[in-house]
Structure 1
Amino acid sequence: MSTSLPQPSSELTFDDLLRLTQPRSIMIVGASTTVGTLGHTTVLNLLDHSEFDGDVFLVNPKGGQWQHRPLYQSVGDVPAQAIDVALLLVPADAAYSTLEACAAKGVRYAIVFTGGFAELGEQGQTTEQEMLALARRSGMRLYGPNCAGMTLLSPRLGLTFSTEFRNDGRNNRVSRIGLVTQGGGLGRSLMQGNERGVCFSSWFSTGNELDLDNADFIHWLAQDPDIDIICTVIEGIKDGARFVAAAQAAQRAGKPLIALKVGRSDFGKKAAQSHTASLAGDDVVNDAVFSQYGVIRVDDLDEMLDVASLMSRVSVQSLQRICVYSSSGGAGVLSADKVGEAGLTMACLAQSTIAEMARYAPSYAALTNPVDLTTKALVDPELARKCLSPLFNDPAVDAVLYPVTSNYSASTESTVRNMLDVARNGMKAFVPVWMSSRRGPAHDLLINEGFAPIYSLRNAMQAIKRITWYAEKSNTARDPNGLMPVLPNAGTLVDLPRNEAGAKALLAQNGIRSPKEAQAITAKEAVVQASRIGFPVALKLVADGVLHKSEIGGVQLNLWNEAQVHDAFGQIIKNAHEHKISDKCIRGVLVSEMITDGVEILVGIHRDAVFGPILTIGAGGVWVEIEADVARCHLPASRSQIEQVFDTTRVAKRLSSYRGMPARDRGALLDATQRLALLFLSLGDRAQSLEVNPLVVLNNGQGVVALDAVFE
């Protein structure tokens, strides 16, 4: 019998943001006639720099006029109801009362630009919760606070106080990339990527995310037919389930989601907390979740611009096989080094490709990969057209990398122009890398023609690597909620096991066996049980709440006779007393057969504060912290997902037959891991963690054995 686990997204709803992104009426509370103020710039952005023909209402307590428009002294004076969007430029201490007035007007969305809330401490948090309660009662949705607002460029709509909105999209290049950032500064930096040919058609800056969060806007962009790629800069994820659901929506829509998660270090986490009061999260968990749901994680703004720009041009495809085309031998060798360092491949060119290039290239040119036409290419720009075409037709080439080492003005421009003539009509990705610090007409030509250059070979390789990873991930994507076996016993559990013996008993009920073992409460009983099990044996302390027995001398291994067992029992109890473990917690010892063959694996599950249940699997035993050879995934996960995650560890290779060593029971490990995951999920919030370490994988067909287990 089998069943499917519910998707996280099935219990979640996302708001239809149509009236936010295509409003019919907008009210600006805090509009100002004073030049240079935020209230003045916001009105200018809407009236002069946007393409908005709906109703506009301006509110200022002093009243008066904005050109021919009245300034209403209060929200209540505005002669309209059911206003789609209100922009609030008011002090933090006036935010709640202003929102009350907006709710009375039937405002659907309130964008609160003001800062000074949860990011400043307890009082701000209290105010935020009052604002959120008001929104819940009224049905009004809150955007912000402490945010830079919303920028849309097709058609233009600037609900923002930024003086730079007037320059957004000024190059008129068509873009199908959406951007969601919590902070305004990093988002503005990315928006100014249009100067290097990387353009965003929409930008949502979400601030403290009191109500609407980044997941809402990622989900919205996943449904937007005018968006192909989504970028997001995240300081903290408050609701992991909603983020996962939004990422899954992007996956289903075939839209790459590129994420820069800041707050990775302890210093960064502290800064994120003070900035937007967000939970930065455990970074290894963030990494695992992003990978599992196909989120392309980048490390800085430059990388985000490079990946987004290149992917918008080449779409989703593997770029594993690289051909380097250059007029510099040194640049070709350096490029080859970077290809290898990135784990990519130098393409092996077909003989017909080499022969075609040889018809035009000088006899001293290098025509294998990397292709080096030498300085002849600088004085004969037509060489680019003649020698590049065969490379774009070679089936063994995925991408042509062109490092521009120097700017030779008109010569470089002519060469680039001829190369672009070929690249526009070619079926291969063309990746220009501008290595010179001097720009010029050739550089601008690349940008104007939609081939935004990358500015270092290292960055180019990283962008190609990210796109290739995503393409391969898309090709092997599986349903994360595939059919999984039911564990009927777990759900009836009332209390969690408080020690190893109880934990193993529960595991046994769910199909995961332990060694031959028995509990003993006296030394004499331990000797009897050891003789019954057969020597050698191990003795382990059984005590409620004691998680790491070996650290307090609670484990004795390789006991070969009755005397050793008798003495070991006494030593274990003595060690327990020395570590202040009370007699009422001590339940004796476990006498266990020694399992001396097999591969030791750690299988652990814990409840992450952001994303919920997280599975950890990898090398186990006493050296687990030192080896640090583990991988993680978010639960629920299918058996195939668990297998893919496990295969990223080094220890996975030890399960295969090698140099006379037998193959280990990989299938039994995956079955046991899946059963442990289902057991943990069935326990709900009663269990915060489960660890089986080690879970010993025996020879093929012999299964696995749990040597230790603990619940918390």
Structure 2
Amino acid sequence: MNPPTIDTSVRFDNLAALTQPRSVMIVGASTTPGTLGHTTVLNVLEHSDFAGEVYLVNPKGGELQGKTLYPGVGDVPAHGIDVALLLVPAESAMETLAACAARGVRYAIVFTGGFAELGEAGRSVEAEMRALAERTGMRIYGPNCAGMTMLAPRLGLTFSTEFRNDGRSGALSRIGLVTQGGGLGRSLMQGDERGVRFSRWFSTGNEVDLDSADFIHWLANDPATDLICTVMEGIKSGPRFVAAAQAARRAGKPLIALKIGRSDFGKKAAQSHTASLAGEDVVNDAVFSQYGVIRVEDLDELLDVAGLISRVGVRSLQRICVYSSSGGAGVLSADKVGEAGLAMATLAEATVAEMARHAPSYAALTNPVDLTTKALVDPLLAKRCLTPLFADPGVDVVLYPITSNYAATTEGTVRNMLDVARGGSKAFVPVWMSSRRGPAHDLLIQEGFAPFYSLRNAMLALKRCSWYAQQASRGDESESEVAGLPAVAPQVPLPCNEAQAKALLAEYGVRSPREEQAGTAEEAAAQARGIGFPVALKLVADGVLHKSEIGGVQLHLRSEEQVRDAFARIMANAQQHRVPQQAVRGVLVSEMVTDGVELLVGIHRDAVFGPVLTVGAGGVWVEVEADVARCHLPAGRAVLERALDRTRIARRLASHRGLPARDRAALLDAMQRIAALFLALGDSVQSLEVNPLVVLNDGQGVVALDAVIE
């Protein structure tokens, strides 16, 4: 097998001088308590475990925290400082950055806002920043960002007053966090109150130079990180994001992404906030799925999924056993299991028999398990029944809905559960359903079993984790070689008409119907006679992409007279729709292919990710059906097949009620060949569409009835 496809043109810094600096300069340090410049100094000097050199810059001079305040960057008695923190007005940011570059600063973190998010003038300044970084080699982090928080060991290169509290409430999880915005990132950092604790947080802001992909890639290689979370308003570079996601996957580290800006309203908000290209959300979905990125819908779900994976690792969590002292909670849980597409586990006979030895006769010992309220007052009963439940080989998860807070009683029940769960091999998933917190709730967090706060959220998390486990178990899916492709990249005339597009497809092994091009009605009639009736006539004209919309297609023609009449109608329609006479090349006379399943196979060049293949229901109803799936190119055959199987029309390819099976293998082969053609055509081509691509009976192949290249 070929190795996985990796874009070797993408390069990442190792970020060592940024994440483990030996020297830090704070430009805009302030002696006034409560200001950002003062808080940043305290974060570095008092609340970090930083033993390196710290230089402070303030034009007024003086002293702060026993450190000299130098009036300017050029006055600092050091060269090659690892990191400079800039708390300066937007109008002086470029001057300060230039001064830092002149002093050999390696990384500059620009906290200041007021750039591209405000309009054209700000975008112009950011372009200057980018040019400075390229010219000098100094990397720029930000602007408009909340900086960097490292908690193991502690290093706060941030102006946040909350840094002093970060990581103080319990043992840290090995979870890294990358967010563009600071507010949502800070919200997630405070997830430690519910037991989900991040050990690294990078807030990247407008990403004028370093972007989210840089930090995802760094976390993928960080030995102190097992899991990566990101909140993205826009994806600056699709290839870099894909490369970072691939790095995380190769390292066995799940990547959980919350991509905001999905709706038209959200896209506009993302533009105004961080001036990012939000991207087409259906493409984002396809790319995330293809590269094993766990996509979540909101902050709660991100915390739930991160907390669960960090606790139980990567494994399938589909077979659920519900344990509860509330019959109603058990039934509601079973409903939610079914709605999520998960399964209620079937308990082994030995498990039920062992529980029956201890449980009251009126207890429910199938799934859901309800030991009734007797389990609340009899700790030994709970332990004796739970032990075989946690050992059952048919159970992946023991789900424990906690409906009410009865103070000490609930705490005792939870302790019993934890005593058994700690030694069991199953995932233990507590769901705190009461609006009232209590000592049992806090105990779950203290013991490392962060609870969910609704059954729906618990099911979503279990579903996401199971999906990722399935993704992680897949073998090599690298792009496979396709036999019989041209050795030299083809040349395409633009604009390209249907006949030229089909000729290119033929070079790549995708056949068209029997057809001939005709310039006159008599030629068309003669060719139709040679092909055999019925036939179709289609306008051939440079630049005309959708012929049926201007009356350029005539079907089911059964005689020479009908062909002549159809030719005249097509030419009249072309003239009526003002198709330039010099663009008209005649018509294609084609055999009618009517017995098959019509699909669309198209490829377009996405503004963020580049080539994206779309497959689904084709023909004239393609927009109405809206039954398509996508994948990013290049892609192996297995990836293309999964995209196909996400469509409803894929089911029509199988034999059903006496209808023959269609040639699925030939369809997949054609998808590979069409993808290879598009990639070979290069950047000048924006899209290639074959619609319809008719899939014939099994063993008979596929036929491209129409093709468009833009």
TM-score norm. by structure 2 comes to 0.98
Q: Is the 8 A contact 1:45 1:161 kept in 2?
A: yes
Task: Return 181-190 or 535-544, whichever deviates more.
Answer: 535-544
Whether 2:418 is the aligned partner of 1:420: answer yes
Residue pair 1:230, 1:256 contacting (<8 A) in 2 also: yes
Kept in 2: contact 1:489–1:509 (CA 8 A): no
**1:299 matched to 2:282:** no
Paired position in structure 2 for 1:360? 358
> Who is 1:554 aligned against?
552
Partner of 2:149: 151
* Residues 578 and 632 (structure 1), Cα distance of their counterparts in 2 relative to 1, 3 Å cut: same
Q: Which residue number corresponds to residue 332 of structure 1?
A: 330
Which deviates more, 375-384 or 71-80?
A: 375-384
Given that residues 5 and 482 in structure 1 are in contact (C-alpha distance below 8 angstroms), is that contact kept between their aligned partners in structure 2? no
Cα distance between partner residues in 1 of 2:453 and 2:576: 63
Q: CA deviation at 1:379?
A: 2.1
1:601 to 599, 602, 605: 599
Identity of aligned residues (%): 75
1:99-138 alignment, distance < 5 Å = 99-138=97-136
1:32 maps to amino acid? S
Contact 2:495-2:543 at 8 Å conserved across structures:
no
- 1-side partners of 2:636 and 2:482: how far apart? 7
State the one-letter code of the partner of 1:637. A
Following the alignment from structure 1 to structure 2, what is the Cα–Cα distance between the partners of residues 325 and 537? 67
- Higher mean C-alpha deviation, range 425-434 or range 523-532: 523-532
Shift of 1:223: 0.3
What is the SS of the residue equivalent to 1:588? strand
Structure 2 counterpart of 1:661, one-letter code: L
Amino acid at match of 1:562: E
Give the drift of 1:485.
4.0
Does structure 1 retain, via aligned residues, the 8 Å contact 2:4–2:476? no
The Cα of 1:381 is off from its aligned counterpart by 3.2
- Compared CA separation, residues 489 and 568, structure 1 to 2 (3 A): farther
Give the drift of 1:13.
Answer: 1.1
Preserved contact between residue 694 and residue 704 of structure 2 (Cα < 8 Å): yes
Task: Return the offset for 1:576.
Answer: 1.5
The equivalent of 1:79 in structure 2 is: 77
The one of 14, 17, 20 aligned to 1:19: 17
**Residue in 2 that maps onto 1:383:** 381
Deviations 1:292-333 (A, max 9, x none): 000000000000000000000110000111111111111111
SS at 1:463 equivalent: helix
TM-superposed CA distance for 1:497, in Å, is 5.9
Tell me the secondary structure at the aligned position of residue 676 of structure 1: helix
Counterpart residue number, 1:451: 449
One-letter amino acid of the structure 1 residue matched with residue 420 of structure 2: V
Deviations 1:15-50 (A, max 9, x none): 011111111000000000101110011011111111
Q: Distance in 1 between matches of 2:24 and 2:170?
A: 26
> What is the Cα deviation at residue 380 of structure 1?
2.0
CA contact (8 A) 1:90 1:114 kept: yes
Structure 1 position 384, deviation (Å): 2.4
Cα distance 1:282–1:490, how it changes in 2: closer, same or farther (>3 A)?
A: farther
Q: What aligned pairs does 1:407-556 form with structure 2 within 5 A after superposition? A: 407-485=405-483, 487-488=485-486, 491-496=489-494, 498-556=496-554
CA contact (8 A) 2:627 2:647 kept: yes
Q: Is contact 2:611–2:632 with CA below 8 Å preserved after alignment?
A: yes
The correspondence for 1:586, drawn from 554, 562, 584, is 584
Match of residue 629 from structure 2: 631
CA 486–33 in structure 1, closer or farther in 2 if over 3 Å, else same: farther
SS of residue paired to 2:409:
helix
Partner of 1:185: 183
Aligned partner of 1:620 among 610, 618, 621: 618
Runs of 4+ in 1 over 6 A off after TM superposition: 3-6
- Per-residue Cα deviation, 1:573-627 (whole angstroms, up to 9, x for no partner): 1112221212111111111111010111110000000000000011111111111
The answer as to whether partners of 2:256 and 2:296 remain within 8 angstroms in 1 is yes
Aligned length: 710
Looking at structure 1, the residues matched to 578 and 82 of structure 2 have their Cα atoms a distance apart, in angstroms, of 65
2:118 partner letter: L
1:174: how far off?
Answer: 2.5
Q: 1: distance between equivalents of 2:277 and 2:11? A: 22
Residue pair 1:542, 1:588 contacting (<8 A) in 2 also: yes
Aligned 8 A contact 1:490 1:683 in 2: no
Bigger Cα displacement from structure 2, 491-500 vs 18-27? 491-500
Aligned equivalents of 1:581 and 1:5: distance in 2?
49
The secondary structure found in structure 1 opposite 2:503 is helix
Measure the CA separation in 2 of the matches of 1:627 and 1:574: 31
Match of 2:340 in 1: 342
Question: Secondary structure of 1:584's partner?
Answer: helix
- Residues 350 and 179 of structure 1: is their aligned pair in 2 closer, same or farther, counting only changes over 3 Å? same
In 1, distance between residues paired with 2:450 and 2:162?
Answer: 22
Of 253, 270, 273, 1:272 maps to 270
Q: Which amino acid aligns with 1:552?
A: I
**Secondary structure in structure 2 of the residue aligned to 1:264:** coil
Give the superposition deviation at 1:483.
3.5
Partner residue of 1:644 out of 642, 645, 668: 642
Distance in structure 1 (CA, Å) of the matches to 2:474 and 2:622:
30
Aligned-pair CA distance for 1:346 = 0.5
**Equivalent position to 1:323, from 321, 324, 327:** 321
Q: CA deviation at 1:419?
A: 0.3
For structure 1, the 5+ residue unaligned runs are none
Provide the C-alpha distance between the structure 2 equivalents of 1:566 and 1:489, rounded to a whole number of angstroms. Answer: 41
Shift of 1:133: 1.2
User: How far off its partner does 1:365 sit?
Assistant: 1.0
Match of 1:242 among 233, 240, 243: 240
- For 2:373, the aligned partner's letter is T
Is the contact made by 1:306 and 1:454 (CA closer than 8 Å) also made in structure 2?
yes
Structure 2: segments with no counterpart, 5+ residues: none
Counterpart of 1:107, as a letter, is V
Q: CA deviation at 1:218?
A: 0.3
Residue 477 of structure 1: how far off its partner (Å)? 4.4
Aligned twin of 1:404: 402
8 A Cα contact 2:170 2:446, kept in partner: no
**Following the alignment from structure 1 to structure 2, what is the Cα–Cα distance between the partners of residues 590 and 184?**
59
Equivalent AA in structure 1 for residue 65 of structure 2? Q
Note the alpha carbon deviations across 1:487-545, whole angstroms, 9 max, x for none. 22661415246111111111111111100111112122111111111111111111111
Q: Map residues 153-168 of structure 1 onto 2, 5 A cutoff.
A: 153-168=151-166
Q: Residue type matched to 2:187 in 1?
A: S
| One-letter code aligned to 2:185 | G
Distance, in Å, in 2 between the alignment partners of 1:421 and 1:610 is: 50
Partner of 1:589, secondary structure, is strand
Q: Aligned residue for 1:47?
A: 45
Shift of 1:67: 3.1
